Amino acid sequence: MQPQAPQSESVHANPVNQSIEQMDGHELQQQTIGLELANLVADTTSDFNGLLQGLVRIVLNQSQCNCLWLASSSPAEPPFADAQKPSLSFVALVQPDSLWPVVADQARSLVRLALESQTVCQSPLKGHAGSSLVVAPVLIQLGSLSETQLVLTGCFDNSTESDLRQQWLMAMAAQTIAQWQQTKSSLQQNVYSKNLRDAFEITQRLSQTQSSPEAARLIVNQLQNCLGSDQVTLSLSKDASVVNISAVSGVEQVDERSEYAAQTIAALQQPLVQQAMVGFSLGQEKQSGVDLALESYCNVNGCEAAVALPVFDADENTIGSVLIACSGEQFLDSTFQAKCQQVVSLIAGHLPTVLRANESLSKTVSNRLANLKSSATLQHFAIGVALVVGLLLVPMPYRVWCDCNVQPVERRFVAAPYDGVLEQSLVRGGDQVAAAQVVARLDGRALRSELAGVQAEFDVAKKRRDLALATGDVAQSQIAKSEMRRYQAKVSILNQRLENLEVRSPIDGIVVAGDLAEAVGAPLELGQTLFEIAPLDNMVAEVGIPETEAEYVKPGMKVQLKFDSFPFKTFSAEIQRVHPRAENLNEDSVFVAEVVLENTDERLRPGMNGDAKISTGWSPLGWNLFHRPWESIRYWSVW
């Protein structure tokens, strides 16, 4: 049933400005109301419901208002309504239950008239003497109510105040709604502009990244700074069943086996499953599995709240999800969640391009292969791959190249038998000597002089003993006898040293080290090394095997050696043993392998350097060429 329009003679349609200009005599009261309404507009922290509650309070305090409604209008949609009349919906702000059925039809008609004339309209309420309806159009767009106009409708008692004041009060209330909406819209535009600048700065830095992991780390770190959140986690995954952690702000690497990683992945799955933003705060009651997953993440991460949202590309395809750990105060702030959505959506439009630019070589090759459409090209490519694989599988001998050094099999050191003075050195370095051959002599003059003195002391002690025995002094005879024994021991030692003045070689061999020709007359100390003598019939080549190749070398393997002194001669032998402990050689860690070489012609001398080539067996050519790079990759990837 369509509402009937009120009679024209009972309806007063006055422009807002005209209504305000006709108000007089209430300047002070108007200033008070205006100040209260201005405070409502200035309160940017309140939402629309808070604004309406404030308006209701002011209108009820300043007038005899029986009820108040807020009507919204939108164009009617045929065939459900008359296309010439807007569709109206009323929300009661203050309404007695019994009054709406009485005023409904008249209120709809009066609201349509106010929308057409865009003025404040007033009409006496039919059937209720002393009451009237006043409507004031707001004429704004309210957020999601696109192309919708608002009309403030009130029912007043005319017994205590004039019609003009009621119209003025409703006009001021409608104007307050419009100003509040404009203020909110301006603030939202400022926030959006800031979010746009932040997102643009992040996308600029993204274009300078060199790899997908670097881009992911940049996004989470910049988002954390931009949002002021506790932590940001990014997952670049299109499927909720295969979610992984691409990057975490402030964290270089995450252990995928940890409890933290498991709970984070579970939280990142939720926006992909819901295809919408989800959130949870530790202060709210759990309602679903989404809340349980986010609560577990908050507990393991030590944060108060978390917001998770999907990431869409320009074609609205899911490319991942973002998990934002925040404080409870941020979670309750609607602008924080709006900023999260805005910034993430702005970055997401640029992210696929960056990922394609930074994709790995293997992925690029796979994409190129997928785009190949020529069967001939595919056939040629397959043949080429088969030939390369076949060539890499051909067995080839694998050899380990090492440095080597010649050393004698046996070394004997000739040392000074006692403290003395070198009288003569009979050999030089490189001389061959025989066993028991005299190689040096010590000066015995000091020993003979000392022997003569000790012998004299012995004779004196002997005379004292004989005298004591003759006089019957037993005690003195015992003391003298002890001194004789001491001097006799010294005489024995000195005689032995005099017999060993000649230093002899213990073995047949060559003097490897020791040239004392310039040290004749110099004092020697007991145990001081004079010569190093080694046999030359057999030599040992010490081969330094690199630590990376040690596992492939075993005793008994064939080895070929070439020395710098004999560049055209190759020595062949077998590895006798490998030392179990690594040594540092030229700042490299090596394992020393011993190779015994016959040296019947005595061409090899200690200290010669050369190269060794160890044959470890046959292996595929591909393994020979690429096993070391592959092992390095495995080492660093496992690390």
Provide the residue type at 355 as one letter.
L
Residue 138 lies in a domain: yes
Look at residues 502, 532, 562 and tell me which one is the last residue of a structural domain.
532
Q: Which two tokens mark 285?
A: 């009651």
Range of 154's domain? 8-186
CB 206 within 8 A of CB 236: no
Cα dist from 147 to 142, 176, 178, 203, whole Å: 8, 19, 14, 34
3-state DSSP assignment of residue 556 = coil
Q: Identify the pLDDT of residue 591.
A: 92
Q: pLDDT band for position 108 (50/70/90)?
A: confident
Q: Identify the pLDDT of residue 560.
A: 92
Provide the residue type at 277 as one letter.
M
Residue 197 lies in a domain: no
Answer whether residue 142 shows pLDDT above 80. Answer: no
In the DSSP assignment, the letter for residue 82 is -
Look at residues 298, 332, 361 and tell me which one is the last residue of a structural domain.
361
Least confident among 58-67, 172-181, 377-386, 447-456: 447-456
pLDDT in tens, 577-617: 999 888 887 778 899 999 998 887 778 888 889 999 998 88
Residue 611 lies in a domain: yes
Helix, strand, coil proportions of the chain in percent (round to 5)? Answer: 45, 25, 30
Residue 399 lies in a domain: no
How far does the chain reach from its first CA to its final CA, in angstroms? 79
Residue 367 lies in a domain: no
110 and 77 part of one domain: yes
Least confident among 33-47, 74-88, 319-333, 386-400: 74-88
Cα dist from 352 to 208, 357, 580, whole Å: 14, 9, 54
Residue 176 lies in a domain: yes
Backbone φ and ψ of 230, nearest 5°: -75, -40
Section 333-350 average pLDDT: 77
Is the bond preceding residue 79 a cis peptide, omega within 30 degrees?
Answer: yes
pLDDT in tens, 233-292: 888 877 667 788 888 888 877 787 888 888 888 888 888 888 888 888 887 776 677 788
Section 349-354 average pLDDT: 67
88 and 32 part of one domain: yes
CATH number at residue 163: 3.30.450
pLDDT in tens, 292-305: 888 888 888 889 89
CATH number at residue 356: 3.30.450.40
Q: Identify the pLDDT of residue 363.
A: 57
51 and 122 part of one domain: yes
In the DSSP assignment, the letter for residue 409 is S
Least confident among 207-221, 506-520, 624-638: 506-520
Distance CA 343, CA 223 (A): 8
Q: Identify the pLDDT of residue 80.
A: 35
pLDDT in tens, 16-34: 444 444 444 456 566 677 7
245 and 158 part of one domain: no
Look at residues 132, 151, 186 and tell me which one is the last residue of a structural domain.
186
Using CA of residue 27, residue 33, residue 39, residue 40, what is the dihedral sign?
A: negative
Q: Identify the pLDDT of residue 612.
A: 93
353 and 322 part of one domain: yes
Distance CA 403, CA 401 (A): 7
Cα dist from 375 to 122, 366, 381, 544, whole Å: 82, 17, 10, 53
Answer whether residue 173 shows pLDDT above 60. Answer: yes
Q: Which residues contact 164 (CB under 8 A, 6 or more apart)?
A: 19, 22, 23
454 and 599 part of one domain: no
Distance of CA 622 to the CA centre of its chain: 34
564 and 549 part of one domain: yes
CA angle 508, 514, 518 (to 5 degrees): 130
Residue 110 lies in a domain: yes
Work out the burial of residue 278: count CB atoms within 10 Å of its CB; fewer than 13 is exposed, 13-18 middle, 19 or more buried. Answer: buried
pLDDT in tens, 82-100: 445 667 888 888 766 677 8
451 and 584 part of one domain: no
Residue 357 lies in a domain: yes
Place of tokens 């691409």: 246
Section 23-51 average pLDDT: 68
Number of helices followed by number of strands (H, E) in the chain? 16, 26
Q: pLDDT band for position 543 (50/70/90)?
A: very high
Give whichever of 125-134, 339-348, 440-449, 488-497 has the largest mean pLDDT.
125-134
CA angle 121, 127, 128 (to 5 degrees): 70
Structural domain tally of the chain? 4
Answer whether residue 57 shows pLDDT above 70. Answer: yes
150 and 14 part of one domain: yes
541 and 521 part of one domain: no
244 and 149 part of one domain: no
217 and 87 part of one domain: no
Least confident among 175-184, 335-344, 446-455, 553-562: 446-455
Q: Which residues lie across from 233 on neighbouring strands?
A: 248, 323
Distance CA 119, CA 599 (A): 122
Q: pLDDT band for position 372 (50/70/90)?
A: low
Q: Identify the pLDDT of residue 562.
A: 92
Decide: pTM greater than 0.75: no
Cα dist from 25 to 36, 169, 347, whole Å: 19, 14, 59
Answer whether residue 144 shows pLDDT above 60. Answer: no
